[in-house]
Amino acid sequence: MISLFLAALLAPQATLQEDPVEPYVQRDANAGAKPFAGHAMLDAFHGRAGIDRVVDDLVARNVADPRISDIFKAQDLVRLRRTLKEQFCYILGGGCAYTGRDMASSHKDLGLQVADFNALVDNLQKAMNAEKVSYWAQNRLLAKLAPMKRTTVVR
């Protein structure tokens, strides 16, 4: 009981630690897409709590997915979860600022192929289904993300 309590207390600090990254200019444009106007998309994703659940689930699926799991090995998943949540929240009109790097510089060394991109989209669709985001709203978000194939896939 006590150890559980302690673990719960200590775990957040331990897991919120991010690795340092090369300095870069922070701006919303780094998110790579313009945000939706209005509240409809944020509502479809069940607010910021829903976006957080979708991103956590997406990252968990990617890490467990034999098609792409190796790409995520030894990466800073704490930072990835945080910046992805910001990015989705920004694009979906949730009013967040995006503080991460742009898509080209954050993926340039990963050697991604089209099939990797599609595997990630596949996992995102599963995560959105688990959150019961309507298929229509899912496609609207995917329409914003699809062109990022050009900046993230280098081969």
Partner 1 sequence: MPSSLLLRCALALLSLAASSPALARDMRAGGKMLLTGGVSSVEGAAGGGLATWSLIAGNETKDGIGAKAHVTYLALPDFDLTTGGVAIGIKDRVELSYARQRFDTRAAGAALGLGRGFTFAQDIYGLKLRVIGDAVYDQDKLLPQISIGVQHKRANRGAVIRAIGGRHTAGTDFYVAATKVLLSRSLVLDATLRVTKANQLGLLGFGGDRRDAYRPQFEGSAGVLLARNLLVGAEFRTRPSNLGFAREQHGADLFAAWSLSKNVAVTAAYADLGDIATVQDQRGLFLSLQGSL
Query: How far apart (Å, rounded) are the C-alpha atoms in residues 137 and 123?
Result: 16
61 binds ligand HEM (CB under 6 A): no
29 binds partner 1 (CB under 8 A): no
The distance of closest approach from Cβ of residue 139 to partner 1 in the complex, given in angstroms and rounded to an integer, is 5
Residue of 48, 56, 60, 72 interacting with ligand HEM (CB under 6 A): 72
Which residue stretch of 22-30, 43-51, 97-105, 142-150 sits at the interface with partner 1 (rule: CB under 8 A)? Answer: 142-150
155 binds partner 1 (CB under 8 A): yes
Show contacts with ligand HEM in window 88-117 (CB under 6 A): 100-101, 106-107, 110, 112, 116-117
CA dihedral 15→79→72→152, nearest 10 degrees, is: 170
Query: How far apart (Å, rounded) are the C-alpha atoms in residues 80 and 112?
Result: 16
Binding partner selected for residue 79 from partner 1, ligand HEM, none, CB under the kind-specific 5 to 8 Å limit: ligand HEM
Nearest in space to 77 (alpha carbons), one of 94, 87, 62, 65: 62
Name the residue type at position 101.
R
73 binds partner 1 (CB under 8 A): yes
How many chain residues are in contact with partner 1, going by CB under 8 A? 31
Q: Summarize as ranges the residues that interact with partner 1 (CB under 8 A).
A: 66-67, 70-71, 73-74, 109-116, 118-119, 121-122, 125, 135-136, 139-140, 142-144, 146-147, 149-150, 155
